[in-house]
Structures are given as C-alpha cells and as structure tokens.
C-alpha cells in the first residue's frame, strides 16, 4: 500500500514538473513574441500618409511636384525626383534636405542633382519593414521659422518598387525625365480622346431625340408644334455646345501631341550626344 502511494506521489510530481516546464515555455515564447514583434510583424498600421505624384503642392511662393518616388528594398534606398518652380526671386542659397522613418528616426539624404527647377535626392538606410517616410525640404539657414519647411510622404503600401537605384549622370537622368513626360502626355491624350468620344455619343443621342420629336409633329396641333420646335432648338444648341467642346479637345490633343514630338526629339538628341561622348572617350 505504501509503495503504491509513493508511486502515485511520484506520478503527481512528474505531472507538476511537466506543467511547470510547459508554463515557462509558453511564458517565454509570449515574452519573446511581444518584444520582437516590431522586427517580424509588418508595420502597415501607421502607413497612411501619401503625397501623390504629379500633383502641384504650394509652398510659399513656390510650386513643388513629385515626379517619381522609387524604392529598392535590396539596396534599402529611395530616390525622389522633384520639379520645383520658385517665384520668390529672392536669390536663395539653396535647400536643406532631411528624411524620417516612423520607427527608425532620421535617415541620410544625399542630393544627387540640384538645379533651380529640378532636384533628385537619394535616401539611404531605409528599414526593410519601414512604415512611413517623410521627406523634408527647407531653405538653407532658415532655422525653425514657421512656413520654411515642406513635408512630403510615402509609405510601404504605395511607394513604387524597383530592383536597383544607381546614380546616373545628368544626361541619363534627363532621358528618364523626358520619358516620364512622354508617358504623362500619352495619358493626357487618352483622357482627351475619352472626352471626345463622350461628346460624340451625346450628339448622336440628341440627334436621335430630334428625329423622334420631328416625327411626332405630323400629328400635333400648331401650338404643340411650336412647343416641339422650341425643344428641338434647345437640343440643337446642346449639339453646338458639344461640338465646341470637341473642337477645344482636338486642339488640346494637337498641342499635347506636338509636346510629345518635341520631347522625343530631346531624348534622341541627348542619346546622340551621349554616344558621341562615349566614342570620343574610346578614341
């Protein structure tokens, strides 16, 4: 009997030990999970703010626009291309640039190209699981004065991803810039053609309605005919209005097409100049 009791006691002790080990294992796993969650969990919860591409942003007497904002995860690098129109005419010494990630803090920013109206920046050491990046630009030596800094944003969900981001020379960047302009112009052409098609469809519908109204006049009284003719006159004015819209859209399309031709000429000339320089360097 005593031996049986001892055996039962050992079994209970063994179960308690197993339970204790299991409890400690679960506790430590949860502890580790909690404190490492920022490393392995996606950080999209804070990834909300976004400054859209090709939209004018007013900054005091300037207009600034993001042409592209690209991200290479392999290099942990971003490249931001900006178009800047400065109407302040104050002879500024230039701009200072900084970038901040929601969790990692400040990131290094390097100006790759700086013109009066064109800026290309590279942001390095971007965390692979970044949430949101803010790019800040302010006048040099402006200090903390109100209104001297502009902030632009991208996030992990919306940034354009590329394989690599290597530095290029000015001509190569110009070719890329002009190619993006051509793409933008082509999108404008699509929108214009869509408006023209909609106007043409509306004209066809109005003309069909006019025919129906004219057919009804055969069995109408003189007063009814007068009323119908008034409706037909209004419909014809709508057709004239739509035809005017079409003419304006066609003129706008012709302008955009000319810009495309001119921009493609610039691309071709730049490529020819680059080839000539390469040939000279070989010789």
Q: How far is CA 117 from the centre of its chain?
A: 20
| pLDDT for position 256 | 98
The model's pLDDT over 230-261, given as tens digits with 9 standing for 90+, comes to 999 999 999 999 999 999 999 999 999 999 99
| pLDDT for position 43 | 44
Does position 23 have pLDDT exceeding 70, yes or no?
no
Per-position b or e across 180-198, b if 16+ CB within 10 A of its CB: bbbebbeebeeebeeebee
Q: How far is CA 162 from CA 105, 157, 227, 266, in A?
A: 23, 14, 64, 25
Kindly state the percentage of the chain with pLDDT values over 70: 78
CA dihedral of residues 143, 145, 148, 152 (deg, nearest 10): 80
> Residue 69 burial (CB < 10 Å; 0-12/13-18/19+)?
buried
| pLDDT for position 140 | 81
For the ranges 88-97, 167-176, 206-215, which has the lowest average pLDDT? 88-97
Q: What is the mean pLDDT of residues 95-119?
A: 93
| pLDDT for position 143 | 62
Report angle CA 229, 231, 233 to the nearest 5 degrees.
Answer: 70
Does position 147 have pLDDT exceeding 60, yes or no?
no
| pLDDT for position 109 | 97
Q: What is the mean pLDDT of residues 140-147?
A: 62
3-state secondary structure of 114: strand
């Amino acid at each position: 009997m005593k031996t049986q009791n001892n055996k039962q006691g050992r079994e209970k002790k063994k179960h308690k030990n197993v339970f204790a080990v299991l409890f400690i294992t679960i506790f430590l796993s949860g502890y580790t999970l909690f404190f490492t969650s920022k490393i392995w969990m996606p950080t999209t919860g804070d990834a909300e703010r976004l400054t859209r591409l090709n939209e004018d942003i007013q900054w005091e007497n300037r207009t600034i626009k993001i042409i592209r904002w690209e991200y290479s995860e392999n290099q942990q690098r971003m490249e931001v291309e900006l178009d800047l129109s400065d109407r302040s005419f104050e002879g500024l010494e230039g701009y200072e640039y900084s970038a901040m990630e929601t969790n990692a803090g400040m990131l290094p920013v390097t100006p790759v190209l700086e013109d009066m109206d064109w800026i290309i920046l590279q942001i390095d050491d971007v965390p692979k699981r970044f949430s949101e990046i803010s790019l800040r630009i302010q006048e040099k030596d402006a200090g903390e004065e109100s209104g001297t800094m502009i902030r632009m944003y991208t996030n992990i969900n919306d940034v354009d991803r590329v394989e690599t981001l290597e530095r290029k020379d000015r001509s190569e960047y110009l070719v890329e810039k002009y190619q993006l302009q051509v793409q933008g112009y082509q999108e404008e052409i699509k929108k214009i053609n869509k408006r023209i098609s909609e106007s043409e469809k509306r004209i066809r519908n109005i003309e069909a309605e006019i025919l129906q109204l004219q057919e009804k006049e055969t069995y109408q009284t003189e007063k009814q005919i007068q009323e119908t003719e008034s409706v037909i006159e209004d419909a014809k004015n709508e057709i004239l209005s739509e035809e005017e819209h079409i003419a304006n859209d066609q003129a706008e399309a012709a302008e955009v097409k000319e810009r495309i031709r001119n921009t493609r000429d610039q691309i071709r000339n730049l490529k020819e100049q680059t080839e000539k320089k390469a040939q000279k360097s070989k010789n």
